[in-house]
């Protein structure tokens, strides 16, 4: 190992792998191996910097004994540690801190459902053992809040912290504003930016007035860097066994898909022949992706086996009273003022909790070609054109009523608008033609006929916009004045 001193006023050149440099207000030696540095001591080796009031340095064994305002930092691993005393070996990178506190790197781990922070991971303890790539903190706590008055702490008699990877605490106690809230046998906290490792999650243990004692466990499976699944099961002593699956996929930079599945094998409520089961299934799939030729696709699938199942096992009032399940998958493209949409739609409306009492409306498929308002004629009498058109294959099923599996419907609704101006007044006339063709019709007796039906409507509207009136009020320190003025409306205001 090459050792030398340096002057703090000079440019500090990068050190080699085995080079150690130091500076101090004063230094002495025993003539053999020990060097005694006193006053504003600074020792550097590669990316490590150690400062203290006093340092005893053994040049033969590379042992260091630092005392007073000890500050240890490592820029490569983003470690920043303070202590009253520090015993350390420069070669093995092991040592012991006393009365220690500091920070290590903790990457942002936020997602759409969890708030995230860029604050470093803070720890504090009586003693910290420094190994080559980790710290062992005794009788201390960790947090990612700002100190010295953090909102929460996780105290532990022994914590292992591997910067940039994880923190593992034994018998931790969670405190909020120094108030203990809960304890656990162990706690694992990832410090990675994308902490995805397969393994079992924290068990769910509790008690429910409706379902009895609760015991649940889940397994997180990191299938690959673009796909993960969470498989879980929960046992309710009064009702039975429930299982759920949550999945996330990011196959490309511009696409994502999420899956949620929940099912309940209900033993039922009541006794004997009056026992009533309320089990069922819930499926939700959401995703988005970019498609060829400038299209992008969206899928939103929601399936519910029964409204009674949702009312019995949901956790929120909003879900309990929501009686619809909407599913849609569509591809769309926008160019100029035009829109092209192709969709598959299924809407189910639960009328009551009774099985089968639903109204199901299907569109397999639905094609739309629309245009927002755009100018086709300019001049003293301008014209704007708007179009809504659709072609669907529909089906409707409900109690005592059902159409064909697929029945066509074509809708065509073009509109022409203009604008006439006179002394600040604007008259906007609009003429529209609404044509709708149905492949089936319902007779007065309630039966369905295969005969087509054409409905035509003409629409004329006039909108008169008078000049707007404005008044400007001056402040108390300015001369009072008011004015009225008229300003023309936008050419596309209707």
Comparing 204-218, 311-325, 375-389, 397-411, which segment has the lowest mean pLDDT? 311-325
Same domain, 407 and 428: yes
Same domain, 256 and 232: yes
What was the pLDDT predicted at 182? 87
Same domain, 162 and 298: no
Examine residue 148 and state whether it is found in any structural domain, yes or no. yes
Distances from the Cα of 487 to the Cα of 213, 468, 469, 474, angstroms: 70, 7, 9, 21
Same domain, 314 and 410: yes
Same domain, 252 and 164: no
What was the pLDDT predicted at 484? 42
Query: Which of 190, 212, 239 finishes a domain?
Result: 190
pLDDT-derived band at 16 (thresholds 50, 70, 90) equals: low
pLDDT-derived band at 1 (thresholds 50, 70, 90) equals: very low
Examine residue 203 and state whether it is found in any structural domain, yes or no. yes
- What CATH number does the domain containing 23 carry? 2.60.450.10
Q: Angle at the Cα of 394 (from 390 to 397), degrees rounded to 5?
A: 150
pLDDT-derived band at 285 (thresholds 50, 70, 90) equals: very high
Examine residue 471 and state whether it is found in any structural domain, yes or no. no
Examine residue 489 and state whether it is found in any structural domain, yes or no. no
Examine residue 99 and state whether it is found in any structural domain, yes or no. yes
Query: Which of 190, 224, 242 finishes a domain?
Result: 190
Q: Are 438 and 432 in contact (CB under 8 A)?
A: no
pLDDT beyond 60 at 107? no
What was the pLDDT predicted at 14? 62
Same domain, 173 and 285: no
pLDDT tens per residue across span 338-351: 999 999 999 999 99
Examine residue 483 and state whether it is found in any structural domain, yes or no. no
Same domain, 343 and 386: yes
- Would you call 487 helix, strand, or coil by DSSP? coil
Query: Which of 170, 190, 210 finishes a domain?
Result: 190
Considering only CA atoms, which of 394, 426, 420, 416 is closest in space to residue 407? Answer: 394
Same domain, 118 and 216: no
Q: How many domains does the chain have?
A: 2
Same domain, 288 and 418: yes
Examine residue 186 and state whether it is found in any structural domain, yes or no. yes
Examine residue 477 and state whether it is found in any structural domain, yes or no. no
Considering only CA atoms, which of 80, 126, 120, 121 is closest in space to residue 100? Answer: 126
Sign for the pseudo-dihedral over CA of 165, 130, 92, 19: positive
What was the pLDDT predicted at 378? 92
Same domain, 277 and 168: no
210 versus 24: the higher-pLDDT residue is: 24
Domain span including residue 326: 199-465
Q: Output the six-digit token pair for 53.
A: 């009031």
Same domain, 287 and 378: yes
Same domain, 171 and 285: no
pLDDT beyond 80 at 408? yes
């Amino acid at each position: 190992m090459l050792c030398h001193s340096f002057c703090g006023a000079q440019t500090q050149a990068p050190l080699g792998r085995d080079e150690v440099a130091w500076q101090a207000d004063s230094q002495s030696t025993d003539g053999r191996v020990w060097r005694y540095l006193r006053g504003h001591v600074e020792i550097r080796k590669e990316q490590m910097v150690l400062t203290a009031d006093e340092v005893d340095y053994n040049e033969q064994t590379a042992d260091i004994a630092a005392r007073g305002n000890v500050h240890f930092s490592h820029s490569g691993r983003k470690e920043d540690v303070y202590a009253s005393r520090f015993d350390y070996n420069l070669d093995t990178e092991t040592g012991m801190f006393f009365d220690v506190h500091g920070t290590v790197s903790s990457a942002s781990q936020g997602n759409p459902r969890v708030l995230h922070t860029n604050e470093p991971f803070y720890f504090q303890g009586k003693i910290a053992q420094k190994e080559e790539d980790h710290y062992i903190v005794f009788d201390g706590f960790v947090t990612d809040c700002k100190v010295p008055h953090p909102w929460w702490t996780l105290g532990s008699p022994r914590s292992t912290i591997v910067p940039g990877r994880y923190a593992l605490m034994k018998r931790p106690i969670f405190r909020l504003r120094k108030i203990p809230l809960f304890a656990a046998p162990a706690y694992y906290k990832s410090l990675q930016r994308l902490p995805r490792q397969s393994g079992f999650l924290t068990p769910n243990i509790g008690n429910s007035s409706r379902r009895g004692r609760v015991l649940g466990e889940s397994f997180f499976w990191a299938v690959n860097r673009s796909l993960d699944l969470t498989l879980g099961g929960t046992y309710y002593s009064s009702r039975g066994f429930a299982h759920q699956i949550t999945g996330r996929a990011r196959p490309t930079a511009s696409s994502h898909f999420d899956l949620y599945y929940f099912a309940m094998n209900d033993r039922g409520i009541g006794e004997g022949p009056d026992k009533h089961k309320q089990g069922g299934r819930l499926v939700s799939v959401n995703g988005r992706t970019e498609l060829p030729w400038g299209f992008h696709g969206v899928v939103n699938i929601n399936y519910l086996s029964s409204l009674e199942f949702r009312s019995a096992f949901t956790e929120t009032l909003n879900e309990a009273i929501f009686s619809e399940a909407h599913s849609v998958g569509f591809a769309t493209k926008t160019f100029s003022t035009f829109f092209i949409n192709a969709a598959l739609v299924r809407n189910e409306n639960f009328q009551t909790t009774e099985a089968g009492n639903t109204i199901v409306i299907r569109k397999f498929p639905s094609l739309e070609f629309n245009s927002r308002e755009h100018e086709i004629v300019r001049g003293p009498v301008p014209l704007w054109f708007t179009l809504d058109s659709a072609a669907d294959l529909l089906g409707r099923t409900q109690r005592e009523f059902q159409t064909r599996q697929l029945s066509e419907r074509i809708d065509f609704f073009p509109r022409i608008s203009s604008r006439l101006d006179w002394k600040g007044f604007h008259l906007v006339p609009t003429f529209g033609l609404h044509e709708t063709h149905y492949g089936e019709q319902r007779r007065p007796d309630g039966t369905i006929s295969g005969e087509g039906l054409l409905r035509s409507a003409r629409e004329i509207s006039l909108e008169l916009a008078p000049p707007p009136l404005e008044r400007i009020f001056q402040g108390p320190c300015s001369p009072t004045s008011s004015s009225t003025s008229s300003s023309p409306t936008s050419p596309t205001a209707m």
